[in-house]
């Protein structure tokens, strides 16, 4: 074969490789991206001059794939993968060092590799844009759902307040007139349950942001320390270690002291409940732009992705019957919304859950 024919054959291989890679990228399933990346590497292998000995490797955006016989004992060509103009990985093609050196690569092969790295980077960019759109849509749907729930809940709470007040008031009047001890005990049970129901109504109103607030300047660290003192027996019972990651900086915010305490109490109590014996609870307070960020993490089993969007809904709970009403996190969400803040949750590393609250600065 003449030199011209050999060069022409190599150009055809390179163009075929580029075409195949482009076709793979166009038809990629973002949910099965690893399969597409592996197919791209085998296209690269076939596009090289000595394709029987060429092997390829790709690492980017938490993915790492390679052809079957790739190893580190190779002379290589490499090209960076850029995602939104930042280097996030690379593609490598190599020959065995015992048989080849750098001069055995063609100049056109480096150009081909650079073009494919650019195409793969664009693929990752489109995937990230898609993922962000999906996450944003889910967040908007969840916000709308919580808003509707809040309106319904506020209506129910207002409707229940009057009959509960009547039950409690008439029970108190009867208790003053009744002399029979057994009847007095029964009336006390009625009053206790009415008071319990009234507390649930209060929690519903917290969720719906209907409770009046007494806002003042509050120092966050002393508030956290006070709640930790209250919960010390529960933490000690499970031998839980507290890791506090904040300095002596005065983190001040405008808040209702009682409501802020309720938020801290609920979140730390939840972390303790789901923590294993001898586990760690980490509390981090930092400044993030125009917000004060509070993070509370545990080392429990974590939140199942299937229920991740439901945790702030009222009456939803994963605790056994009798251990929780399912109002704790919904109340927390309502209070934080009333303080113009946000709350999110994410998996902890290596296990557990991290709740992140952003409060606006003064």
Query: Over 50: is that where the pLDDT of 1 sits?
Result: no
What pLDDT, on the 0 to 100 scale, is given for residue 195?
81
Domain identity same for 224 and 341: yes
When computed from its CA atoms, the radius of gyration of the chain, rounded to whole angstroms, is 31
Please identify, among 161, 191, 207, the residue that sits at the C-terminal boundary of a domain. Answer: 207
If pLDDT is split at 50, 70 and 90, which confidence band does 182 have? confident
Residue keyed to tokens 């129910």: 156
Q: Are residues 98 and 160 in the same domain?
A: no
Residue 256 sits in a domain of what CATH number? 3.30.565.10
**DSSP class per residue in 130-144:** HHHHHHHHHHHHHHH
Specify whether 130 is located in the same domain as 203. Answer: no
pLDDT in tens, 143-177: 666 666 666 766 777 777 788 888 888 888 888 88
Q: Which helix (H) or strand (E) holds 222?
A: helix 220-230
User: DSSP string of 236-255?
Assistant: HHTTPEEEEE--S---EEEE
Please indicate, yes or no, whether residues 173 and 263 belong to a single structural domain of this protein. Answer: no
What CA–CA distance (Å, rounded) separates 98 from 52?
A: 15
| Higher-confidence position of 31 and 353 | 353
> Do residue 220 and residue 351 come from a single domain?
yes
CA distance 47 to 129: 30
The confidence band for 353, taking pLDDT boundaries of 50, 70 and 90, is: very high
Nearest to 194 by CA among 177, 175, 213: 175
What is the residue range of 124's domain?
3-135
Whether residue 117 sits in one domain with residue 14? yes
Please state, in angstroms and rounded to a whole number, the distance separating the CA atoms of residues 77 and 113.
8
The average pLDDT across 3-18 equals: 86
Residue finishing a domain among 71, 106, 135 = 135
Q: How many domains does the chain have?
A: 3
Out of 31-40, 168-177, 259-268, 334-343, the most confident range is 31-40
Dump pLDDT digits (tens) for 290-313.
899 999 999 998 988 888 878 887
Pairing between β-strand 63-66 and β-strand 74-83 as defined by DSSP bridges: unpaired
C-beta separation of 344 from 311 below 8 A = no
**Would you give the DSSP letter of residue 356?**
E
pLDDT confidence tier of residue 181, bands split at 50, 70 and 90:
confident
Length of the chain: 362
Query: Would you state the pLDDT for residue 110?
Result: 93
- DSSP bridge pairs for 78: 92
Residue 139, Cβ neighbours under 10 Å: how many?
12
Of the chain, the percentage scoring pLDDT greater than 70 comes to 89
Q: Which of 336, 354, 346, 355 is nearest to 150 (CA)?
A: 336
Q: Is 221 helix (H, G, I), strand (E, B) or coil?
A: helix
Q: Which helix (H) or strand (E) holds 217?
A: strand 215-219
pLDDT at 342: 92
Indicate whether 25 and 97 sit together in one domain: yes
pLDDT at 96: 94
Confidence of residue 206 (pLDDT cuts 50, 70, 90): low
Identify the pLDDT of residue 188.
87
Q: Are residues 56 and 157 in the same domain?
A: no
Q: What is the pTM of this model?
A: 0.51
161 and 237 fall within a common domain: no
223 & 273 share domain:
yes
Specify whether 183 is located in the same domain as 86: no
DSSP-assigned beta bridge partners for residue 80? 90
| 251 shares its domain with 325 | yes
Tell me the average pLDDT across 107-125. Answer: 93
Decide which of 164, 185, 207 is a domain's last residue. Answer: 207
In this prediction, residues 118-127 reach a mean pLDDT of 93
């Amino acid at each position: 074969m003449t030199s011209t024919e050999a060069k022409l054959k190599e150009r055809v291989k390179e163009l075929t490789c580029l075409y195949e890679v482009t076709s793979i990228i166009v038809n990629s399933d973002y949910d099965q991206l690893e399969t597409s990346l592996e197919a791209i590497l085998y296209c690269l292998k076939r596009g090289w001059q000595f394709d029987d000995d060429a092997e390829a490797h790709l690492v980017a955006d938490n993915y790492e794939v390679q052809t079957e016989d790739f190893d580190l004992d190779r002379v290589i060509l490499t090209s960076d993968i850029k995602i939104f103009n930042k280097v996030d990985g690379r593609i490598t093609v190599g020959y065995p060092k015992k048989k080849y050196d750098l001069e055995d690569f063609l100049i056109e092969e480096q150009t081909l590799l650079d073009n494919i790295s650019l195409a793969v980077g664009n693929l990752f960019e489109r995937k990230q844009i898609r993922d962000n759109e999906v996450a944003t849509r889910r967040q908007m749907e969840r916000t709308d759902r919580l808003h509707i729930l809040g309106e319904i809940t506020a209506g129910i709470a207002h409707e229940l307040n009057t009959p509960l007040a009547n039950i409690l008031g008439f029970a108190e009047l009867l208790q003053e007139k009744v002399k029979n001890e057994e009847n007095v005990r029964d009336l006390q049970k009625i009053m206790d349950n009415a008071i319990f129901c009234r507390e649930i109504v209060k929690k519903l109103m917290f969720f719906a942001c209907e409770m009046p607030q007494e806002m003042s300047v509050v120092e966050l660290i002393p508030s956290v320390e006070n709640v930790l003192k209250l919960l010390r027996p529960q933490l000690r019972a499970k031998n839980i270690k507290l890791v506090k990651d904040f300095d002596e900086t005065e983190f001040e915010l405008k808040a209702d002291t009682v409501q802020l305490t309720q938020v801290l109490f609920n979140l730390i109590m939840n972390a303790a409940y789901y923590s294993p014996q001898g586990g760690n609870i980490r509390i981090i307070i930092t400044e993030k732009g125009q917000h004060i960020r509070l993070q509370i993490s545990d080392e429990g089993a974590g939140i199942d992705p299937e229920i991740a969007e439901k945790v702030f809904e009222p009456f939803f709970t994963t605790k056994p019957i009798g251990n929780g009403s399912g109002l704790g996190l919904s109340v927390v969400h309502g209070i934080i919304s009333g303080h113009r803040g946000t709350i999110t949750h994410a998996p902890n590393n290596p296990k557990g859950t991290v709740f992140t609250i952003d409060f606006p600065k003064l």
